[in-house]
């Protein structure tokens, strides 16, 4: 019962691999994927940070910290990390500008409007990603937080 070479189902493993590779490489980047992935990643990190510090936040609330103070603390930490990441990214972008200049079309590597737009987009996404876990942290019940361990 050998496979007939003319039969459509007689495709070798190598040919199937080529088809899979071609289909994989045909996917195009869509606008919005990178900011969405960045927002989800930032939210995940901050959410984990808030979960790990739940006991500490519960103690702060039990000792009299207001909801606004807890929210400010979470926002300050998250946006501080974002600001340092933005600064490092800007330095790398400015240093590597000549290397990537040939890959850019219609814009220079150090275009101020593009850089300002990217910084604003990242900062806005980080603000949203910081606010959600920060708001949840400000609602922590101290008794529940201290009881759980």
Q: What own/partner pairs with CB < 8 Å and gap ≥ 24 does 60-63 have?
A: 61/140, 61/142, 61/145, 62/142, 62/146
pTM of the model: 0.65
Domain count, the chain: 1
The boundaries of the domain holding residue 125 are 31-147
Q: What is the pLDDT of residues 56-72, one digit of tens each?
A: 888 898 899 999 999 99
Residue 27 falls in which region: left (phi positive, over 0), alpha (psi -120 to 50) or beta: beta
Residue 97 lies in a domain: yes
d(C-alpha 79, C-alpha 137), whole Å: 16
Report yes or no: 108 and 22 within 8 Å, Cβ to Cβ.
Answer: no
Structural domain contains residue 85: yes
How many Cβ atoms sit within 10 Å of the Cβ of residue 73? 18
As a whole-number percent, the residues of the chain with pLDDT over 70 amount to 77
3 in any annotated domain = no
Confirm whether 16 is domain-assigned.
Answer: no
Q: Residue 78: inside a domain, yes or no?
A: yes
Residue 88 domain-assigned?
yes
């Amino acid at each position: 019962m050998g496979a007939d070479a003319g039969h459509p189902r007689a495709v070798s493993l190598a040919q199937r691999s080529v088809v899979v590779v071609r289909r994989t490489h045909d996917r195009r980047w869509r606008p919005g994927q990178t900011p969405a992935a960045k927002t989800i990643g930032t939210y995940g990190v901050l959410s984990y940070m808030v979960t790990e510090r739940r006991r500490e936040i519960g103690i702060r609330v039990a000792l009299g910290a207001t909801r606004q103070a807890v929210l400010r603390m979470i926002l300050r930490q998250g946006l501080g990390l974002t600001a340092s990441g933005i600064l490092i990214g800007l330095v790398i972008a400015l240093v590597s500008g000549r290397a990537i200049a040939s890959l850019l079309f219609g814009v220079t590597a150090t275009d101020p409007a593009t850089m300002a737009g990217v910084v604003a987009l990242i900062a806005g996404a980080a603000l949203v990603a910081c606010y959600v876990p920060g708001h949840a942290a400000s609602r922590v019940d101290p008794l529940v937080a201290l009881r759980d361990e």
